[in-house]
């Protein structure tokens, strides 16, 4: 029960890594506000948590929309009184579009979900965390955020931006008892491929050069356990860090 008495918002909780984090946090005692753009998915996850004796609230939200972000945090505070942990997990890919093919529309869409949404959520939960003098913010980035060969131009740039946001928040609020860290997963068995349609032949071909070295695919729960460390008191001295969890992929 490492998160006993804590309230956690988890975005992208309707499947994959987000679902694993939401369920693990609930088993560790947290009250979970599970959010996803697909209402049916997140209601299923929250229902399964509650059926197991945990506490979860499902909130459908598109993190690229400011009004949905505000409603999500408001729902968490109204239901459970506060937000102690924020996990920015929702994200989309970019069809491996290289810089010479990426459109303004794709660039803006990827950044809206992968960077602006997390920023708005962080901005909204910070006042409450500062008042309490404690809080843990976890951003799910990617190995694309520490290198240049794991996605297209927009996805790679967005994950680098999320890493930068993580470090800024970690430094700025350290003296307020608030920690902000990022997890950079490698290949994980999730349904994020649903956000890929008609990938660039050029970009995907270049990506495949590095994909051939992947040791194995990860499981969502393996990433969830990293998130648990960062959310709990066991990670109290970890702040502004980027933890790569990729089975050794980027070590090659």
3-state secondary structure the chain: CCCCCCEEEECCCCCHHHHHHHHHHHHCCCEEEEEECCHHHHHHHHHHHHHCCCEEEEEECCCCCHHHHHHHHHHHHHHHCCCCEEEECCCCCCCCCCCCCCCHHHHHHHHHHHHHHHHHHHHHHHHHHHHHCCEEEEEECCHHHCCCCCCCHHHHHHHHHHHHHHHHHHHHCHHHCEEEEEEEECCECCCHHHHCCCCCHHHHHHHHHHHCCCCCCECHHHHHHHHHHHHCHHHCCCCCCEEEECCCHHHC
pLDDT in tens, 121-172: 999 999 999 999 999 999 999 999 999 888 999 999 999 999 999 999 999 9
- Is residue 12 in a domain? yes
Rounded to two decimals, the pTM is 0.96
- Is residue 1 in a domain? no
- Total domains in the chain come to 1
* Percentage of residues in the chain having pLDDT higher than 90: 90
Q: What CATH number should be reported for the domain holding residue 107?
A: 3.40.50.720
Catalytic residue among 80, 155, 204, 252: 155
- Is residue 202 in a domain? yes
What pLDDT, on the 0 to 100 scale, is given for residue 197? 84
Q: Cβ–Cβ contacts within 10 Å for residue 247, how many?
A: 17
In the residue annotation, 155 being an active-site residue is answered as yes
pLDDT in tens, 209-234: 888 889 999 999 999 999 999 999 99
- Is residue 167 in a domain? yes
Q: What is the mean pLDDT of residues 186-213?
A: 86
- Is residue 116 in a domain? yes
pLDDT in tens, 50-101: 999 999 999 999 999 999 999 999 999 999 999 999 999 999 999 999 999 9
169: containing domain: 7-251
- Is residue 103 in a domain? yes
- Is residue 120 in a domain? yes
- Is residue 2 in a domain? no
What pLDDT, on the 0 to 100 scale, is given for residue 209? 84
Q: Is the pLDDT of residue 46 over 80?
A: yes
What pLDDT, on the 0 to 100 scale, is given for residue 7? 98
């Amino acid at each position: 029960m490492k998160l006993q008495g804590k309230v956690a918002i988890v975005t992208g909780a309707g499947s994959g890594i987000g679902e694993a984090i939401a369920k693990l946090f609930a088993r560790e005692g947290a009250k979970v506000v599970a959010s996803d753009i697909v209402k049916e998915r997140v209601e299923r996850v929250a229902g399964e948590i509650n059926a197991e004796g945990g506490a979860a609230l499902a909130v459908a939200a598109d993190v690229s929309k400011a009004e949905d972000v505000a409603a999500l945090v408001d729902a968490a505070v109204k239901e459970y009184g506060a937000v102690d942990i924020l996990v920015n997990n929702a994200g989309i890919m970019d069809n491996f579009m290289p810089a010479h093919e990426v459109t303004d529309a794709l660039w803006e869409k990827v950044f809206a979900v992968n960077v602006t949404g997390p920023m708005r959520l962080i901005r909204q939960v910070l006042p409450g965390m500062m008042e309490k003098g404690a809080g843990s913010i976890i951003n799910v980035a990617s190995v694309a955020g520490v290198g240049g060969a794991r996605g297209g131009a927009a996805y790679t740039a967005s994950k680098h931006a999320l890493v930068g946001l993580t470090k800024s928040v970690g430094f700025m609020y350290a003296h307020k008892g608030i920690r902000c860290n990022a997890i950079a997963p490698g290949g994980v068995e999730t349904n994020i491929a649903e956000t890929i349609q008609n990938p660039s032949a050029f970009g995907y071909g270049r990506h495949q050069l590095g994909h051939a070295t992947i040791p194995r695919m990860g499981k969502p729960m393996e990433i969830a356990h990293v998130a648990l460390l960062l959310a709990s008191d066991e990670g109290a001295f970890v702040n502004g860090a980027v933890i790569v969890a990729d089975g050794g992929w980027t070590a090659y």
